[in-house]
Amino acid sequence: MQAEARIGPNAILQLVDVLERRGLGDLCAHVLSRAGVARPPPDASMLPQEDCAAVHRALRELRPDEAEPILRASGLATGDYILAHRIPRPAQAVLRLLPGRVAAPLLSTAIARHAWTFAGTGRFDVVSRRPLVFSVHDNPLIAGWQADRPQCIWHAAVFERLFSRLVWPGVTVRETACCACGDPACRFELTEG
């Protein structure tokens, strides 16, 4: 029997926190109910990737006009959590001191090593280093979702927060292809600001 595919809890926890900080507790409860997912405890470990996808999908269905800024805010908050709890302070200090051309590949390699925490059964690749391009094939957070424009706002915001704090303060992260649009992979291009 295959183990259940899992993703880090911040895919839900930070979204819940953003909704509550914005005074949208009722929407939060409705999103979780529609997704059929119980609210995870603050110290939750890895969560089923289907639950994470269901919560993101429920938000998009219930509030299509507000989903993008909420997902962006939760991605930025996830990046803040990673900086506070997952990347050692000495490593952060070293990355900040290095030139971007050196720090960017180091951070990219670290992200690739830990991609299972946000890509689940999908596959994360560093497509190129100059320009810096990432891809996520079979992105589980948007599985089954169809759209006419890229939908991986949460992922893009996480990458933005990490690179803006550790490598390039004015980094721009653009999702240029998305599985939800019928593309073979979600593709993220990072450029220095």
The answer, yes or no, to whether the previous bond of 40 is cis (omega within 30 of 0) is: no
* pLDDT reading at 2 higher than 80: no
Confidence of residue 52 (pLDDT cuts 50, 70, 90): very high
| Per-residue model confidence as pLDDT tens digits over 64-94 | 999 999 999 999 999 999 999 999 999 999 9
Cα–Cα distance between 154 and 171 in angstroms, integer? 16
Question: What phi, psi does 191 have (nearest 5°)?
Answer: -130, 145
Nearest Cα residue to 141 out of 63, 86, 66, 60? 60
pLDDT of amino acid 62? 98
Domains of the chain (ranges plus CATH)?
Answer: 6-191 (3.90.1520.10)
The percent of residues above 70 in pLDDT, for the chain, comes to: 98
| Per-residue model confidence as pLDDT tens digits over 141-163 | 999 999 999 999 999 999 999 99
Q: In what order do the strands lie in the sheet with 185-191?
A: 123-129, 132-137, 185-191, 172-177
| Per-residue model confidence as pLDDT tens digits over 9-23 | 999 999 999 999 999
* pLDDT reading at 116 higher than 90: yes
pLDDT of amino acid 188? 98
pLDDT of amino acid 3? 59
Where does the chain show beta strands of DSSP type E?
A: 6-7, 47-48, 123-129, 132-137, 172-177, 185-191
